[in-house]
């Protein structure tokens, strides 16, 4: 028998030879008969012997290292293989620190120096020794002696053990509270803030008191409280021009009671005139119509009785026919007047002296309609009663009224406007009231 010689280009190692020998022995055992593994012919055991010559030849054959795929370039005789493997840099060995890792001889140095969890590491900052895994998990990045940057990015560099104190008490980028307004600020901006802080205590500009007051209260202090502030006399609106420090004002008031009282009297008189003027102005505004004046007569029953006994005339509030129009008033005799006495309501219109008479057209010529409202709820069923006339320019009632015109003089209108019988029908009287409308036809009004 023999073993095939390997060419140096195949990766046959010592293991391959063992494997071949084992295969042969198994073959022999299994068969119970010695047979040649090559051609399977029976062999004579007596003729099997070690072949030194062949062994030498095999052991001299050139082989490559089994790690040549990993990069080992070793090529040599088979007999030198074991010696090579004992130092082949690609052969796996166990970490001498017993960290359980298997590593190639090549990476052992690296492992021992940098990654073996059982290696001992000396911290470059504190010079203490740590097992590698402890160092990485706990100490690295936490060494109190390592110099680091301040986390507030203030630019300071200091050993970690001093960092907390620095950030709490020294760092100019630390957050601090303004002691006056309690808002948070970066420390280096605090001073600038306090030039504007509304709660920062400042002295009164009048130096009234050494006690300082919050900045935002100074204005109110000066206006309302500061005894040194110059104030105007309480009677300023009445005309007193006196000014003095607040603490002196009482004295001024005591000494000038008479003068102040006179000022007040003058003021009251002046205001009274103004009130009268305003009332007149207000009156002329509220009594301007668009030509339609509606007059409600409440307490009808009582007024009717008064009218029966006294033949009293009811005169309406005066009104203007337009903003710069004629001033007039309506008048009513509930128990009738003249031809209508005792049986009718009589209604008249009176032209009164007005503000704009001098610029209006005379005699008065606008058509006038009197209406009595039917106060029925249903709008469509109402039957208002109306009478209209066009003023006769020759009648004295329609001439320009003089200032001394007799207001009690009778106007122009209808003595027999509505009979008492008709008045009791429908809803002419409702809730003890009647409502009369006077409509002046402004279509023909020539605006002054
Ligand atoms: Zn090798
Ligand atoms: Zn290790
Ligand atoms: Zn350290
Ligand atoms: Zn800092
Ligand atoms: Zn503040
Ligand atoms: Zn003050
Ligand atoms: Zn005064």
Find the 229 Cα to ligand 7 centroid distance in Å: 16
Dump strand ranges (E) for 180-248.
184-186, 201-202, 213-214, 230-232, 243-245
What is the rounded average pLDDT for all residues in the chain?
87
Residue 287: predicted pLDDT: 78
Which of these, 106, 80, 81, 73, lies nearest to 15 by C-alpha position?
Answer: 81
- Is the model's pLDDT at 248 over the cut of 90? yes
Ligand nearest to the CA of 239: 7
Contact indicator for 258, 245 with CB cutoff of 8 Å: no
Rg of the chain taking only CA atoms, in angstroms: 64
Q: In percent, how much of the chain has pLDDT > 70?
A: 91
Give 174 Cα–ligand 3 centroid separation in angstroms: 27
DSSP 303-321: HHHHHHHH-PPEEPPPEES
Q: How far is the CA of 233 from the centre of ligand 7 (A)?
A: 4
Mean pLDDT of 286-291: 80
pTM: 0.42
Residue 24 banded pLDDT, cuts 50, 70, 90: low
What CA–CA distances, in Å, run from 173 to 62, 152, 329, 355?
74, 6, 85, 80
pLDDT digits (tens, 9 = 90+) for 179-189: 999 999 999 99
How confident is the model over 32-36, as a mean pLDDT? 68
Q: Note whether 227 and 245 are within 8 A (CB).
A: yes
Which of the ligands is closest to the CA of residue 139? 3
Contact 345, 337 (CB under 8 A): no
User: Quick one: pLDDT at residue 38?
Assistant: 77
> Which residues on neighbouring strands pair with residue 117, listed in sequence order?
none
Kindly state the average pLDDT of the residues 81-108: 88
Buried/exposed code over 149-169 (b: 16+ C-beta within 10 A; e: otherwise): ebebebebeeeeeebeebbee
What does the pLDDT look like over 83-94, one tens digit per residue?
998 889 898 888
pLDDT of residue 281: 81
Q: Which residues have CB atoms below 5 A from the ion given as ligand 5? A: 178, 180-181, 197
Least confident stretch, 13-27, 79-93, 125-139, 326-340 = 13-27
How far is the centre of ligand 6, averaged over its atoms, from the C-alpha of 207 (Å)?
A: 6
pLDDT band at 1, cuts 50/70/90?
A: very low
Q: What's the gap in Å between 132 CA and the centre of ligand 3?
A: 13
Show the tokens assigned to 148: 């680091």
pLDDT above 70: residue 21: no
Distance CA 328, CA 292 (A): 12
Note whether 37 and 25 are within 8 A (CB): no
Give the pLDDT band (50/70/90) at residue 32. Answer: low
Distance 67 CA to ligand 1 centre (A): 5
Question: Could you give the CA distance from residue 351 to residue 402 in angstroms, rounded to a whole number?
Answer: 10
pLDDT band at 2 (very low <50, low <70, confident <90, very high): very low
* Domains along the chain with CATH numbers: 14-85 (3.30.40.10), 287-444 (2.60.210.10)
Ligand 4 center to 176 CA (angstroms): 13
**Mean pLDDT within 219-223:** 91
Per the CB < 8 A criterion, the answer to whether 62 and 75 are in contact is yes
Residues near ion ligand 3 (Cβ under 5 Å): 123, 125-126, 143
In this predicted structure, the answer to whether residue 18 has a pLDDT above a threshold of 70 is no
Half-sphere exposure of 201 (CA within 13 A, CB side): 7
Token pair, residue 273, equals 């005139």
Residue whose tokens read 């006399």: 233
**What integer pLDDT is reported at residue 404 of this predicted model?**
73
Q: How far apart are CA 428 and CA 372, in angstroms?
A: 7
- How sure is the predictor about 15, in pLDDT bands with cuts at 50, 70 and 90? low
Q: What is the pLDDT confidence band of residue 439, given thresholds at 50, 70 and 90?
A: very high
Burial class for 359, CB neighbours closer than 10 Å (0-12, 13-18, 19+): exposed
Q: What is the pLDDT of residue 27?
A: 56
pLDDT band at 419 (very low <50, low <70, confident <90, very high): very high
| Centroid of ligand 3 to alpha carbon of 230 (angstroms) | 71
d(CA 186, ligand 5 centre) in Å: 12
Output the CA 209–ligand 6 centroid distance in Å. Answer: 6
CB atoms within 10 A of CB 8: 14
- Distance between the two ends of the chain, CA-based, in angstroms? 152
- What is the average per-residue pLDDT within 233-251? 94
Q: Which ligand is nearest to the CA of 234?
A: 7
How many angstroms is it from 124 CA to the middle of ligand 4?
Answer: 24
Whether 124 and 109 have beta carbons less than 8 Å apart is answered as no
Sign of CA dihedral 29, 30, 33, 34: negative
- Between the CA of 92 and the centroid of ligand 2 the distance, in Å, is 13
Confidence of residue 300 (pLDDT cuts 50, 70, 90): very high
Sign of the alpha-carbon dihedral angle for 330, 332, 336, 338: negative
């Amino acid at each position: 028998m023999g073993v095939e010689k390997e060419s140096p280009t195949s990766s046959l190692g010592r293991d391959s030879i063992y494997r071949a020998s084992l295969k042969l022995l198994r073959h022999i055992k299994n068969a119970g008969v010695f047979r040649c593994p090559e051609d399977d012919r029976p062999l004579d055991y007596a003729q099997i012997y070690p072949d030194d010559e062949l062994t030498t030849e095999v052991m001299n054959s050139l082989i490559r290292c089994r790690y040549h795929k990993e990069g080992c370039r070793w090529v040599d005789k088979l007999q030198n293989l074991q010696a090579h493997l004992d130092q082949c840099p690609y052969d796996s060995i166990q970490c001498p620190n017993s960290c359980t890792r298997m590593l190639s001889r090549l990476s052992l140095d690296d492992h021992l120096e940098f990654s073996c969890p059982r290696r001992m590491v000396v911290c470059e900052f504190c010079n203490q020794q740590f097992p590698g895994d402890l160092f990485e998990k706990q100490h690295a990045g936490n060494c109190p002696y390592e110099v680091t940057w301040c986390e507030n990015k203030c630019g300071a560099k200091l050993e970690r053990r001093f960092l907390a104190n620095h950030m709490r008490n020294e760092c100019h980028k630390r957050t601090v509270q303004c002691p006056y307004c309690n808002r948070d600020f970066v420390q280096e901006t605090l001073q600038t803030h306090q030039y504007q802080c509304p709660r920062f205590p400042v002295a009164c500009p009048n130096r009234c008191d050494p006690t300082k007051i919050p900045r935002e209260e100074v204005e109110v202090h000066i206006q309302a409280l500061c005894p040194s502030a110059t104030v105007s006399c309480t009677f300023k609106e009445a005309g007193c021009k006196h000014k003095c420090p607040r603490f002196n004002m009482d004295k001024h008031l005591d000494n000038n009671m008479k003068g102040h009282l006179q000022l007040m009297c003058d003021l009251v008189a002046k205001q009274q005139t103004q009130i009268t003027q305003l009332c007149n102005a207000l009156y002329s505004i509220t009594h301007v119509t668009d030509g339609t004046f509606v007059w409600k007569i409440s307490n009808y029953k009582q007024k009717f009785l008064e009218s029966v006994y006294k033949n009293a005339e009811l005169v309406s509030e005066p009104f203007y026919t337009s903003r710069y129009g004629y001033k007039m008033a309506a008048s009513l005799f509930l128990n009738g007047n003249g031809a209508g006495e005792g049986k009718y309501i009589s209604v008249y219109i009176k032209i009164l002296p007005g503000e704009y008479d001098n610029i209006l057209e005379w005699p008065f010529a606008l058509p006038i309609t009197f209406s009595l409202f039917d106060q029925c709820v249903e709008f469509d069923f109402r039957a208002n009663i109306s009478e209209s006339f066009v003023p006769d320019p020759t009648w004295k009632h329609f001439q320009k009224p003089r200032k001394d015109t007799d207001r009690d003089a009778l106007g122009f209108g209808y003595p027999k406007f509505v009979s008492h019988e008709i008045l009791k029908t429908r809803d002419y009287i409702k809730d003890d009231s009647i409502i009369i409308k006077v409509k002046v036809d402004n279509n023909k009004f020539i605006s002054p």
